[in-house]
Amino acid sequence: MKKTKLVVLSGPSGSGKSTALNVLEDLGYYCVDNLPTTLLPKFLELFSQSSEITKVATVVDVREKEFLKDFPSIFSAVKEAGCNAELIFLEADDEVLSRRFSETRRRHPIENVATPMEGIAIERELLVEVKAAADEIVDTSNFNVHELKDHMLEHFKALDGVPAMSISLISFGFRYGVPADADIVMDVRFLPNPYFIDEFKGLSGEDEAVRKFVLSKQETKGFIEKFTALLSYLIPLYAKEGKSYLKVAIGCTGGKHRSVSIVESLSRGAALNYGKCTIKHRDIKRI
């Protein structure tokens, strides 16, 4: 069992589990959708005897029904038995899940509910203990299907150790909420705000004029120097503990000016040269 790598995907319906499972299959995992929880130890025992299949993945969700309550204890026992197991919980906002159901015209798997929102609420209650046991929580709210696939590809490549440390830098606006799956969150609302300068209002932190304004400030220079030093210290420690994927979220008020400029600057910093670094500006196009 020790040589078998197991990834378990869970989360509410519509959060992207099928897309994630397809990505794992593309990466060489033997994938089984909706394996009964009680069969998980036997499932792994069979694969531990195979010299060809060393990576397996499955989905655990509300289709498990009466078996779902047993999953946390069974998964814990599997880990204690020596299996290299990872539970990834995919998350999304209620409104996003409801919209995805409307777009696909799928029926919610919770039976006898009048609306998808009612089913989503019940489903969240059923998955509380599963979410609490998760090793990673990935918020898919702001991804379309193609972005989600790319994100999952990088995420699972990182879990397999390529690259040694995959770092994701994301800018966001506190006005729209903190990214749920961020490992490190930094607030840069203390920096001078370009929004209050008329010539910058219609621009973003990707524009040279705004970037120069933000990065030329003494406060910004001091922050970047100290935060870069902090990342340089933390990243090797995270890697030492076996973490291969780190998401650093930088937030300002609207996620359009200061946080964007800071992320762009940090992405070029020597402190992040520990593997592949990707950037995403979550709220840059919001009005």
- Sequential DSSP letters for 49-84: T-SS--EEEEE-SGGGGGGGGGHHHHHHHHHHTT-E
Look at residue 192 in the predicted model and tell me its pLDDT.
92
139 and 181 fall within a common domain = no
Structural domain ending residue among the three candidates 107, 142, 159? 159
195 and 265 fall within a common domain = yes
Q: Is residue 25 part of a domain?
A: yes
Q: Which residues are bridge partners to 74 per DSSP? A: none
179 and 153 fall within a common domain = no
Question: Which DSSP letter does residue 110 get?
Answer: S
Look at residue 2 in the predicted model and tell me its pLDDT.
45
Structural domain ending residue among the three candidates 159, 190, 206? 159
Look at residue 146 in the predicted model and tell me its pLDDT.
81
Q: Is residue 172 part of a domain?
A: yes
Look at residue 278 in the predicted model and tell me its pLDDT.
85
Cα separations (Å) of 43 from 17, 83, 135, 138, 255? 20, 12, 21, 26, 45
pLDDT tens digits for range 82-128:
888 899 999 999 889 888 877 766 666 777 777 778 888 888 888 99
144 and 173 fall within a common domain = no
Look at residue 116 in the predicted model and tell me its pLDDT.
75
- Highest mean pLDDT, choosing among 12-16, 48-52, 262-266: 262-266
Report, as an integer, the average pLDDT of 181-185.
Answer: 93
189 and 148 fall within a common domain = no
Look at residue 262 in the predicted model and tell me its pLDDT.
96
32 and 155 fall within a common domain = yes
Look at residue 1 in the predicted model and tell me its pLDDT.
43
- Quick check: 257 and 174 in contact, CB under 8 A? no
Look at residue 242 in the predicted model and tell me its pLDDT.
63
Structural domain ending residue among the three candidates 159, 183, 210? 159
Report, as an integer, the average pLDDT of 264-286.
Answer: 79
19 and 104 fall within a common domain = yes
pLDDT tens digits for range 134-180:
988 999 998 888 888 878 877 777 666 555 567 889 999 999 999 98
pLDDT of residue 188 exceeding 80, the answer is yes
Q: Is residue 287 part of a domain?
A: no
- Quick check: 20 and 89 in contact, CB under 8 A? no
175 and 114 fall within a common domain = no
What does the alpha-carbon distance between residue 186 and residue 74 come to, in Å, rounded to a whole number? 36
86 and 105 fall within a common domain = yes
139 and 29 fall within a common domain = yes
Q: Is residue 250 part of a domain?
A: yes
Instruction: Provide DSSP, 6-44.
Output: EEEEE-STTSSHHHHHHHHHHTT-EEETT--GGGHHHHH
CATH code (residue 15): 3.40.50.300
22 and 152 fall within a common domain = yes
Contacts of residue 268, defined as CB under 8 A and 6 or more positions apart, other chains included, come to none
Q: Is residue 222 part of a domain?
A: yes
What does the alpha-carbon distance between residue 102 and residue 169 come to, in Å, rounded to a whole number? 31
Q: Which residues are bridge partners to 274 per DSSP? A: none
Q: Is residue 212 part of a domain?
A: yes
What does the alpha-carbon distance between residue 237 and residue 211 come to, in Å, rounded to a whole number? 31
Q: What is the pTM of this model?
A: 0.58
Contacts of residue 88, defined as CB under 8 A and 6 or more positions apart, other chains included, come to 7, 8, 9, 10, 20, 134, 135, 136, 138, 155
Q: Helix, strand, or coil here: 122? A: helix
pLDDT of residue 31 exceeding 80, the answer is yes
pLDDT of residue 274 exceeding 70, the answer is no
Q: Is residue 58 part of a domain?
A: yes
Q: Domain limits at 75?
A: 5-159
Domain count, the chain: 2
Q: Is residue 286 part of a domain?
A: no
Q: Helix, strand, or coil here: 192? A: coil
Look at residue 161 in the predicted model and tell me its pLDDT.
56
What does the alpha-carbon distance between residue 165 and residue 242 come to, in Å, rounded to a whole number? 9
For 220, the token pair is: 């910004």
What does the alpha-carbon distance between residue 72 and residue 83 come to, in Å, rounded to a whole number? 15
Report, as an integer, the average pLDDT of 265-278.
Answer: 71
125 and 174 fall within a common domain = no
pLDDT tens digits for range 33-86:
888 888 888 888 877 776 677 789 999 888 776 667 888 899 888 888 888 889
Report, as an integer, the average pLDDT of 243-264.
Answer: 92
Cα separations (Å) of 34 from 140, 173, 174, 276? 20, 37, 36, 32
pLDDT tens digits for range 195-227:
889 888 889 999 999 999 999 999 999 999 999
| Helix residue ranges per DSSP H, 216-255 | 218-240
